[in-house]
Chain A
Amino acid sequence: MYFTHLYLENFRRFVYWEHTFSPGVHLIVGPNARGKTTLLEAGAYLSTFSSFLARQPRELVNQALAMQNPFLVTRIRATFMREEDGRHRERRIEVRLIFRRETNGLVRTQKEVLVDGVKRKTLTEALGLVQTVLFLPHMLHIVDGAPELRRRYLNFSIAPGHPEYARALSEYTKALQQRNALLKQWWERRGDPQVMLPWEKKLAEHGATIMWTRHQVLQRWNFLADEQGWNRLGDGEVLRLVYRPALGHEADEEVPMLLPFYQPEPDFPKSLPALQDLLFQRLQERRPLDLRRGHTTLGPHRDDFRFLVSGLDLAVYGSRGQMRSALLMLKLVEAAWYYETSGVRPVILLDEVLAELDRERRERVMAAFQGFGEQLWATTTEPDLFPEAVVPRLHVWALQDTGLVSV
C-alpha cells in the first residue's frame, strides 16, 4: 500500500500540514526539531492508533493551542491505495483526538476513527487497514532494554492483524488484575481457595492463546529472516530471536546457547490445548509463592524474547552497530510478515535509519527496504547519506511548517 495524501491538523507542532505523495522513496530533510519524526509518527498512528513515543494521547495534541483553548480537535487524515482483491483500491482514514479541558482542570482526550468517511464504533474495527513499519532510533531499547519493551513491541506488531490475540490480551489483563487483587487481599480476608480457580482457568485460557501466538510468530520471523538472509549480520554472525515464555523457569536461568535454527524451545508444549493445561497446572503450583509475593509470577505478562548472535545475548555482548542491525532485521521481518499474513505491503517509515552504520550496511539496508515496500519515507539531517547509487529515483523534500517542498 502507499499513501497518496496526508493531512494533519493540530497534531503536535503542526497546525495545518498536508502533502500529496506518489509511490516510491521519499527522503524528508530538515534540521532538528522541525517535526520530521512527528510526520512518521502520524503515518504509523493510522495503523496502531497509539504512539510508540507518547504515553498519553493528549501529548499528540498541539500544546500551544491546547493551552489557549478548552476544546481542540486534532485530525490525522490520509488517503491511500491498498491492495485488495488483486488490485489497488483507494481508501480513506481519519483519526480524531478530541481534547477537552473541564472547568475543574481535568483534561480528557477522546479518540474517534472514520473509515471511508464513516465513523466506526470501536478503534479495533479499523485496526489493520493501514499497515506501516516504523523504525525509530529510540527503539534500540527493544534490544537492550527491559523485557516490558519487548512485550509491548510484540503486542504492537501482532494485535492489529490478529483480533483474537488482541481480545486475549485484554481479557488476560482483566483476569490478572482480579487474581492479583485476590492474592493481595488473601492475608486479611482468607476464605475459600477455590475462589482462585476460576481466575486461573481464565488466565490459562487467554494466556495460552497469547503465548502460543507469540511462539508461532517468533518462529515464523526467524524463518523469514533466514530465508531472506537478513539474519546474517556479516563476518559469519547469525542473528536469532529466542522466545522466553514465563512458564515457571527461574528468572536468572541461562539462555540456552547455540540453539540450532527453527528448533522450538525445549519443553514448549506442542499444541495450544497442551499449553493451556500446562499453564493452568503451573499457576496452581505457583499459588503459595504468588500468595507470599502478592502477585502472579508466571504467565505472558512476564514473557521475554532475546536477540542472540551466534548464541550470545546481544543485549549483553552486542555492539551498538550490531544492535542497530538486529533492530533493522526485526523491522524487515515485520514488513515481510505483514505482507505474508495480510497481502498488504506496509509503508516503511524510517527515522535517521542510516546513522551509525558503515557504508556497506547502509547499502544493504536501503536495498532490502526498497525491494520490499511500495512506499518508503525516510528522514535525515544528512541527505549525503543517501547517494544516488544507493537510492535511485529518490524524491527529496524539505520539511516546512505546512507541507513539503521539493529540493
Chain B
Amino acid sequence: MPVLPEPIQRLMQALERLPGVGPKTSARLAFFLLRHLPLARDLAQALEDLERVTLCRRCFHLTEEGQAFCAICRDPRRDPATVCVVEDPLDVLALEQAGVYQGRYHVLHGVISPVEGVGPEDLRIRELLERIPAEGIQEVILATNPSLEGDATAMYLYERLKPLGVRVTRLAQGLPSGGDLEYADPLTLVRALMGRQEMA
C-alpha cells in the first residue's frame, strides 16, 4: 500500500534520475513543487518546450524547431571563414560570454574516448571536414578541453585537417587571469612559459 499518491511518487522517481539528485533531494523538490503550483506549471511548460530544440544543420549548435541554422550561423556579421571547434554547446556559451570571438562554431558533441566506446565516427567530424571546402574556411581553431581526451581529439583533427590546406590553431594554455603565480601547478607553469609572448 503506497503511502503517497501516485503523481507525487512518479515525480519523485523522475527527479531521482537527474544527476546529483538522490532520494532525499527528490522528495524535497517534489514537495516544494506541490506547494508552489504556478512554478510547477512554468517548469512543466519549459520541459515540454525542450522537445522543440534541434541541432543547427551547419554547426550542430542548439537551435529551435523550424530554424535550419542556429542564431550564430544566421548572424550575417559573423566571419564565415573562421570556425571554432568545441566539445559541446556549453562551450559555445562560454566563448560567447567572453564576447570576443567573431567567427562561427562547430560542435563535436563529445570527444574521442575508446574506453567509453566513442570513436571519430560518433562525433561530427565528417561534417566538419566537409564544411572546409564547402564554406571556404580559412582557419580552424581547435578549442577542445586541455584534457587527455580533448588533446587527443585535437591531434586527430589536426591530422585530418592538415591535408585540406587550412590553417589550424589551438587555444593557448597557461595562467588564468587574476590568478596567482605561486598557486599555479607545475604543468600550467610549463605551458605558460612555453607559450610566452613578446611584450607589445
Contact = CB atoms under 8 A, between A and B. Distances in A.
Contacts of A167: 186-187
B137 interface: no
Contacts of A135: none
B152 A191 contact: no
A202 B119 CA distance: 17
Interface stretch (B2-10, B90-98, B153-161, B169-177): B153-161
B114 A179 contact: yes
A306 B159 CA distance: 41
A185 B117 contact: yes
For chain B, the bracket of interface size reads 20 to 34
B136 to A, nearest CB: 25
Interface of A: 163-164, 167, 171, 174-175, 177-179, 181-182, 185, 189, 191-192, 194-195, 197-199, 201-202
B121 interface: yes
Given A171-B148, A178-B149, A198 B112 contact: yes
Given A175-B148, A197-B156, A198-B151, A181 B114 contact: yes
A176 B35 CA distance: 52
Nearest to A170: B148
Contacts of A179: 114
B152 A178 contact: yes
A197 B155 contact: yes
Q: What 5 A-B pairs come out closest when comparing CB atoms?
A: A198-B152, A181-B114, A198-B155, A182-B114, A181-B115
Contacts of B121: 191
A178 B187 contact: no
Interface of B: 112-115, 117, 119-121, 148-149, 151-153, 155-156, 159-160, 185-187
B113 to A, nearest CB: 7
A174 B156 CA distance: 17
B191 to A, nearest CB: 12
A5 B159 CA distance: 58
B115 A198 contact: no
Nearest to A185: B114
12 contacts: A164-B187, A167-B186, A175-B148, A177-B115, A185-B114, A191-B121, A195-B120, A197-B156, A199-B114, A201-B152, A201-B155, A202-B151
A388 B185 CA distance: 49
A202 B152 contact: yes
Contacts of B151: 198, 202
A189 B148 contact: no
Instruction: Give the interface SS of chain B, mostly helix, strand, loop or mixed.
Output: helix
A128 B153 CA distance: 34
Contact of B119 (A163, A174, A175, A195): A195
B114 A198 contact: no
B187 A202 contact: no
Instruction: Give the interface SS of chain A, mostly helix, strand, loop or mixed.
Output: helix
Contacts of B155: 197-198, 201
Interface centre among B114, B149, B185 (most CB of A within 10 A): B114
A198 B154 CA distance: 8
Contacts of B115: 177-178, 181
A174 B148 contact: yes
A291 to B, nearest CB: 13
A182 B185 CA distance: 31
Nearest to B159: A194
A18 B151 CA distance: 49
Given A194-B159, A195-B119, A178 B153 contact: no
Given A164-B186, A181-B115, A185-B114, A197 B159 contact: yes
Nearest to B158: A198
B24 to A, nearest CB: 11
A295 B153 CA distance: 21
A201 B158 CA distance: 13
Nearest to A172: B148
B115 to A, nearest CB: 5
B117 A195 contact: no
Contacts of B186: 163-164, 167
Nearest to B156: A198
Given A185-B114, A198-B153, 5 more contacts: A164-B186, A182-B114, A185-B117, A192-B120, A198-B152
Contacts of A177: 115
Contacts of B160: 194
Nearest to B116: A181
A191 B121 CA distance: 8
Contacts of A197: 155-156, 159
